[in-house]
């Protein structure tokens, strides 16, 4: 079994190969391209399973200490920079989720993207994307992780702007790229600090107790180095995982094709940020009350705030987008409270059910779009939930899969989300009660519980609007279930959404995942690696709010008629408008950052052209010109006559003579050789 670990570096290679083959060779052939992409990620999945099997079989030691393959890479002056690959329990858990979800998404996309003029290119991009994510997971050091991170940044730009004929898609791609770039720069700065202070970027090296200790005692700008570095690293994660305040790119990223949304927002890109924080957690935790509290605060704010926006959106994918932001907030809460495994567990379950929901929404959009074409209607927006309704009768498979995903997201017993969300809330609950006062854990618990209520509310609203009642448009009336290649992945994901939670149920093997992946970090004061005991009160409260929210939403919206006012809008009034406009964050950014930048640029331009620089230049220029005219007179008379023309003649003469050396006459060449030889001898003999 141990030899199977040697397969690890191959995992990202297959999709990379698929990418290269599609770009260089297969791009004219759509079927072949899709086949290559699916084959590539499929092989990665199988390889990952082999590696996971090896990890399970090799026992506790390997799951914790890990297997690694260092590769000496860049020899620099005094040391060699090692890169390489590593597998431990945490990696293995990620390796189960990422390639599998990607494979299902690819299969789904093979049907969904049919008829697109850039079909092959799509599969090239997603393959590269998957390769990036897989590299990120198996990397044993920050630099390789960062390279993969940037590859994903590029791919997200290309894929979100995939339909670049649409102006909005083009802008969304740019926005995603630039926003995440802010995080990337912070992360890179963190890496630079880390490397300059420790001389290594390999995880195992950084997490050695003496190195961590050193980092916590060293100061940067008056703060412990570990705090500064981990804050910078967290900045990277905030960008990539769309946490407040860098969340703005994610909803716009819905402009990409739906499989891309599923890929970016479930399995790959946003998970990368959470993965990074989870991986670097010992660095975060070495100084208590340091960065971790910020992680928890940002997480709580994001979890609540994302959920509130979500209830006021009408675009089916945007609801899910804000839901993703909110759920990522939960993961950050868990990590911020030191509950390493709670965060990782939610990351895994969320990937499955959110991929399911996105693909399900894609299936719905696909159906409504076809319905609209059937009814010869080109004005209905196939993504607007107000144009749907009554789809349950028309698409049974999608509906049931979607229900499973919803149950998981809302946290209904015994679906996956119930277990993972509950663990996060339990973590907060236990810490609140241990502290005995109202502090960060209480607020985190409150934000999480309120968020759970809102989550249930917007999902109930969505289910009611989409599947029940009467169709509110011609397009919805003519909607038809898509083919097997789209529905089968949905059903597979639905199974996982239902049952994946059982890998970490507290009653079975005391939380199996805990023993498999939970102990990869050294214990520290604020790091809780053991499972929290099951909290029945937390479970009851969250189930109660979930059911309440869901049926509230479902009841209000299930019989909504076309053209009727949104019931929540009636109830909440101006608050709803604020939510609908996402708290005006985009407008605020535009006003504060973009407009200021433009204004500054305009000011600088004016400063240059009209006010200061150009006048000075012109003044100097004019003075120079006057002087020039004066000296020109002198020149023509004095210098030209004697100096310039004389020099020019000299150079011309030299040039002619020099060209004469290359006469093509062998005897001249001989003469040169002879003369030079003689001068050389003269040089030696007479010491010239």
Partner 1 sequence: MDFQVPSINLAIIAPVIIVLGGAILAMIVDLFVDKDKKSWAAWVAIITLLVALVQTAGMWGFSGGTFIPEGGTPMIVVDNYATFLNITLILTGILAVLISVGFLQRNGLDKPEYYMLLLFSLGGMMLMGMANDLILVFLALEVLSIPLYILSGFAWPRPESEEAAMKYFILGAFSSAIFVFGIALAYGATGTTSLPGIFAAIDVNEVLGLTAVAFLLVGFAFKVAAVPFHMWTPDVYEGAPTTVTAFMSVGAKVAGFAAMIRVFVTALAHLSDVWVGAIIILATLTLIVGNLLAIVQTNIKRMLAYSSIAHAGFILIAVAASYNNPNGVSAALFYMFAYLFTNLGAFAVVIAVEHKQGEGVMLDDYKGLAARHPWLSLAMAFMMLSLAGVPPTGGFSAKFYVFRTALESELGWLTVLGVVMSVVSAFYYLRVVFLMYMYEGETEVVTKRALKLGLGIAVVATFVLGLFPGTWFDLASQATLTTFQAFAGG
Residues near partner 1 (CB under 8 A) are: 75, 661-662, 664, 666, 668-670, 672-673, 676-677, 680-681, 683-685
User: Helix, strand or coil for residue 618?
Assistant: helix
Query: What's the closest the beta carbon of residue 65 comes to partner 1, in angstroms?
Result: 30
Among residues 28 and 561, whose Cβ is nearest to partner 1?
Answer: 28
CB of 667 to partner 1, least distance (A): 8
- 612 versus 672: smaller Cβ distance to partner 1: 672
Q: Are strands 223-224 and 80-87 parallel, antiparallel or unpaired?
A: unpaired
Give the whole-angstrom CA distance, residue 609 versus residue 302: 45
Phi, psi of 383 (to 5 degrees): -100, -10
DSSP 343: H
Q: How far is the CB of 652 from partner 1 (least distance, A)?
A: 15
What is the closest distance, in whole angstroms, from the C-beta atom of residue 648 to partner 1 in the complex? 19
Question: Residue 544 or 680: which CB sits closer to partner 1?
Answer: 680
Nearest approach, Cβ of residue 673 and partner 1 (Å): 6
SS3 643: helix
Q: At what angle do helices 142-160 and 225-240 cross, to 10 degrees?
A: 20
Smallest separation, CB 144 to partner 1 (Å): 16
Q: Considering the complex, what minimum distance in angstroms separates the CB of residue 83 from partner 1?
A: 14
Which of 565/667 has CB closer to partner 1? 667
The backbone torsions φ and ψ at residue 524, rounded to the nearest 5 degrees and listed phi first, read: -140, 175
Nearer to partner 1, 413 or 669 (CB): 669
Contact 603, 597 (CB under 8 A): no
Identity of the residue, 618 or 677, whose beta carbon is nearer to partner 1 in the bound complex: 677
Helix spans in 113-200 (H) = 119-138, 142-160, 167-198
Between 78 and 536, CB nearer to partner 1: 78
Cα-to-chain-centroid distance, residue 18: 21
| Nearest residue (CB) to partner 1, 536 versus 666 | 666
**Residues 395, 370 contacting (CB under 8 angstroms):** no
CB 340 within 8 A of CB 303: no
Report residue 458 CA to chain centroid gap: 24
For residues 408 and 497, is the Cβ–Cβ distance under 8 A?
A: yes
The closest alpha carbon to 524, from 682, 289, 688, belongs to 289
Around Cβ 281, how many Cβ atoms within 10 Å?
28
The SS3 call for residue 141 is: strand
How far, CA to CA in Å, does 185 sit from each of 86, 190, 232, 235, 594?
Answer: 25, 9, 9, 9, 19
Q: How far is the CB of 660 from partner 1 (least distance, A)?
A: 11
Contact between 474 and 377 under an 8 Å Cβ cutoff? The reply is yes
Q: Is the CB of 598 or the CB of 680 nearer to partner 1? A: 680
Which of left, alpha, beta for 341 (phi over 0: left; psi -120 to 50: alpha)? alpha
Please report how close the Cβ of residue 669 comes to partner 1 at its closest, in angstroms.
4
Element (H, E) at 220: strand 219-220
Does the bond joining 474 to the residue before it have cis omega, within 30 degrees of 0? no
Measured from the CB of residue 79, what is the shortest distance to partner 1 in angstroms? 14
Name the residue nearer to partner 1 (CB basis): 544 or 673: 673
């Amino acid at each position: 079994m141990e030899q199977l670990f040697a397969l690890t570096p191959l995992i990202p290679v297959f999709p990379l190969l698929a990418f290269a083959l599609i770009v260089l060779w297969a791009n004219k052939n759509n079927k072949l391209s899709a086949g290559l992409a699916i084959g590539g990620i499929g092989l990665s999945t199988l390889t990952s399973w082999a590696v996971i099997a090896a990890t399970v079989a090799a026992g506790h030691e390997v799951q914790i200490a890990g297997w690694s393959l260092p590769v000496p890479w860049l020899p620099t002056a005094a040391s060699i920079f090692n890169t390489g690959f590593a597998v431990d329990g945490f990696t293995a858990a990620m390796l189960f989720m990422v390639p599998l979800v990607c494979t299902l998404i690819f299969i789904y996309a093979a049907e969904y993207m049919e008829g697109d003029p850039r079909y092959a290119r799509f599969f090239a991009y997603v393959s590269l994307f998957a390769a990036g994510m897989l590299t990120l997971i198996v990397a044993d050091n920050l630099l390789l992780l960062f390279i993969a991170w940037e590859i994903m940044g590029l791919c997200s730009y290309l894929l979100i702007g995939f339909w670049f004929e649409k102006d909005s898609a083009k802008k969304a791609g740019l926005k995603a790229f630039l926003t995440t770039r802010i995080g990337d720069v912070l992360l890179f700065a963190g890496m630079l600090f880390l490397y300059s202070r420790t001389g290594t970027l390999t995880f195992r090296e950084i997490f050695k107790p003496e190195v961590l200790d050193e980092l916590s005692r060293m100061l940067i700008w008056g703060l412990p180095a570990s705090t500064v570095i981990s804050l910078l690293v967290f900045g990277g994660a905030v960008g990539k995982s769309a946490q407040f305040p860098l969340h703005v790119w994610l909803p716009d990223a819905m402009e990409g094709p739906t499989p891309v949304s599923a890929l970016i927002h479930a399995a790959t890109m946003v998970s990368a940020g959470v993965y990074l924080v989870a991986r670097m957690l010992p660095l975060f935790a070495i100084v208590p009350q340091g960065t971790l509290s910020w992680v928890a605060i940002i997480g709580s704010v994001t979890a609540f705030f994302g959920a509130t926006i979500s209830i006021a959106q009408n675009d089916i994918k945007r609801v899910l987008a804000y839901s993703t932001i909110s759920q990522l907030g939960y993961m950050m809460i868990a990590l911020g409270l030191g509950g390493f495994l709670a965060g990782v567990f939610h990351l895994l379950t969320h990937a499955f059910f959110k991929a399911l929901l996105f693909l399900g929404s894609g299936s719905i959009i696909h159906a409504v779009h076809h319905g609209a074409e059937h009814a010869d209607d080109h004005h209905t927006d196939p993504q607007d939930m107000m144009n749907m309704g009554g789809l349950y009768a028309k698409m049974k498979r999608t509906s049931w899969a979607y229900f499973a995903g919803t149950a998981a997201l809302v946290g209904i017993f015994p679906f996956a989300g119930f277990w993972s969300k509950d663990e996060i809330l339990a973590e907060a609950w236990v810490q609140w009660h241990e502290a005995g006062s109202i502090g960060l854990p209480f607020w985190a618990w409150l934000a999480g519980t309120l968020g759970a209520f809102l989550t249930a509310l917007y999902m109930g609203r969505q289910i009611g609007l989409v599947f029940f009642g009467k169709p509110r448009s011609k397009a919805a009336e003519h909607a038809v279930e898509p083919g097997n290649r789209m529905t089968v992945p949905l059903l597979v994901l639905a199974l996982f959404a239902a049952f994946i939670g059982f890998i970490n149920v507290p009653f079975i093997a005391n939380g199996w995942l805990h023993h498999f992946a939970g102990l990869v970090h050294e214990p520290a004061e604020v790091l809780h690696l053991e499972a929290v005991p099951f909290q029945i009160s937390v479970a009851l409260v969250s189930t109660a709010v979930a059911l309440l929210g869901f049926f509230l939403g479902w009841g209000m919206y299930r019989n909504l008629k076309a053209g009727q006012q949104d019931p929540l809008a009636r109830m909440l009034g101006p608050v709803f408008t604020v939510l609908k406009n996402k708290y005006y964050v985009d407008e605020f950014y535009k006003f504060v950052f973009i407009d200021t930048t433009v204004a500054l640029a305009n000011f600088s331009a004016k400063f240059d052209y009209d006010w200061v620089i150009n006048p000075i230049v012109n003044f100097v220029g004019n003075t120079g010109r006057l002087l020039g005219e004066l000296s020109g007179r002198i020149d023509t008379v004095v210098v030209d006559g004697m100096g310039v023309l004389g020099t020019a003649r000299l150079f011309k003469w030299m040039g002619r003579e020099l060209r004469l050396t290359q006469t093509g006459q062998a005897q001249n060449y001989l003469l040169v050789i002879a003369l030079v030889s003689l001068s050389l001898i003269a040089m030696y003999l007479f010491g010239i």
